[in-house]
């Protein structure tokens, strides 16, 4: 009789431990989803600020597209609705090879000027497509914000 009680207690502990482990994993996954959603909300908010600044002419398109391209890559692949932002990535890639920061400061004035002219030429050539892609991005930002809303079930 005592062995049956011990066996039942051990089985109860094992079941409890298994259920506790499942609950702990479920809570950890839920917390991770919340952290990801918070990160995605920050990314979308930054995209909103950058795209508005670009459309209002407050920032160079090369600088904005480099930053926006990185932020867009941080969003999940299944983000909906899809939007064509290839022009943003294209300009970011085209101007990404120019020297920046300390490397740029070490260039001769002539080389800096050449790079500036090349960058401005690329910005000018791609301006229409970049602005169109930025407007399309602005059209979906509210929907993306709703997707990553903390109130969303």
Residues 6-26: tens digit of each pLDDT: 888 888 888 888 888 888 888
The DSSP secondary-structure symbol of 56 reads T
Q: Which of 34, 134, 39 is nearest to 90 (CA)?
A: 134
| Cβ contact 69:92 at 8 Å | yes
What 3-state class would DSSP assign to 49?
A: helix
pLDDT of residue 62 exceeding 80, the answer is yes
In a 13 Å sphere around the CA of 66, the CA atoms on its Cβ side amount to 12
pLDDT of residue 40 exceeding 90, the answer is no
Domains of the chain, by residue range, sit at: 2-147
What 3-state class would DSSP assign to 8?
A: helix
Mean pLDDT, range 120-137, rounded to an integer: 95
d(CA 24, CA 28): 6
What 3-state class would DSSP assign to 79?
A: coil
The position carrying tokens 């299944």 is 78
pLDDT single digits (tens) 65-80? 999 999 999 988 888 8
Q: Give the pLDDT band of residue 151 (cuts 50, 70, 90).
A: low
Q: Say what percent of the chain tops pLDDT 70.
A: 98
d(CA 48, CA 64): 11
Instruction: Pick the more confident residue, 41 or 132.
Output: 132
The residues near 139 (Cβ < 8 Å, ≥ 6 apart) are 83
pLDDT of the residue at 22 = 84
The position carrying tokens 């409890």 is 16
């Amino acid at each position: 009789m005592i062995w049956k009680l011990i066996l039942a207690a051990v089985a109860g502990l094992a079941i409890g431990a298994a259920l506790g482990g499942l609950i702990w994993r479920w809570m950890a996954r839920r917390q991770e989803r919340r952290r990801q959603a918070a990160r995605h909300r920050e990314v979308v908010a930054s995209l909103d600020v950058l795209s508005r600044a670009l459309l209002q002419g407050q920032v160079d398109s090369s600088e904005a597209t480099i930053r926006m391209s990185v932020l867009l890559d941080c969003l999940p692949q299944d983000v909906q609705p899809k939007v064509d932002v290839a022009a943003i990535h294209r300009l970011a890639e085209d101007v990404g090879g120019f020297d920046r920061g300390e490397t740029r400061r070490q260039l001769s004035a002539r080389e800096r000027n050449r790079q500036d002219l090349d960058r401005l030429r690329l910005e000018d050539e791609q301006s229409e497509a970049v602005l169109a892609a930025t407007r399309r991005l602005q059209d979906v930002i509210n929907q993306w914000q709703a997707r990553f809303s903390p109130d969303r079930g």
